[in-house]
Amino acid sequence: MTAFTNIRLNGVSFAFGTHTVLNHIDLDIQPGSIVALLGPSGCGKSTLLRLLAGLSTPAEGEIWFGDRLVAKAGWALPPEARDIGMVFQDYALWPHMSVAQNVAFPLRMRNVPRKAREERVMAALNRVGLAEFAERKPAGLSGGQQQRVALARAIIAEPAILLFDEPLSNLDSALRESLCHEMAHLLRQLGTTAVYVTHDRREAHWLADRIVHLASGTVESVHTVTPSAGEIA
């Protein structure tokens, strides 16, 4: 895939048993845009992210990344075949590995040679302001620093799509705002298509180009964020 990839959902539905979580979702996310999925707990936003990641399979509909079908009713391409990066709420860092080893892991899985791997790790850590912490273990970092490590690991393989599952919800308000602005700047530099799940309206406005409001498993509305004022147009 190219660095600029659109995402298209056509009539996507998902259910747990008899409980419908997502009901015929139609959504088109433009290449290089940052879209926030906003809504209360239980509205289906995390389930939608899992479908995009390949961690769940739709009951109905299709999901396309560019011109590639990645999921349809009863079938889903696995996460490792989707050219995605993910940033989780709990950071998902390996405590026995150094910061550099954590960030390098996706490249090791792709058999990138050691010298190239080390260069790319330092470049990624420089992007998130953590180059000086390369040999430190995650336990020696603050929550904000750990989330930066998780972000560096997500971007190091230069994925076509980045997925964020409420990554800042464990941080205090001031740090959350600061990291949101940093992440927005970095994502626009990279040109990566991004989908960001949050229940915090402020986060959605700080970060996204468009906000998709979900309610009871359906798309309630889609709004464009005005860059100058951070307000909805």
pTM over 0.85: yes
pLDDT at 119: 96
Contact (CB, 8 A) for 152 and 91 = no
Bridge partners (DSSP) listed for residue 218: 215
* Domain assignments of the chain as residue spans, ordered by start: 84-158
pLDDT at 85: 94
122 burial via Cβ count (<10 Å: 0-12, 13-18, 19+): middle
Q: CB atoms < 10 A from the CB of 80, how many?
A: 11
pLDDT at 89: 85
The pLDDT tens digits along the chain (233 residues) read 445 799 999 999 999 988 999 999 999 999 999 999 999 988 999 999 999 999 999 999 999 999 999 999 999 999 999 999 999 888 889 999 999 999 999 999 899 999 999 999 999 999 999 999 999 999 999 999 999 999 999 999 999 999 999 998 888 888 888 899 899 999 999 989 999 999 999 999 999 999 999 999 999 999 999 764 444 43
Name the residue among 63, 53, 51 with its Cα closest to residue 14. Answer: 51
- Which stretches within 56-195 are classed as H helix? 99-109, 114-127, 143-155, 173-190
How far, in Å, CA of 147 to CA of 186, rounded? Answer: 14
pLDDT at 170: 83
Q: Token match 């705002």: residue?
A: 177
pLDDT at 1: 41
Task: Identify the DSSP state of 138.
Answer: G
How far, in Å, CA of 113 to CA of 192, rounded? Answer: 24
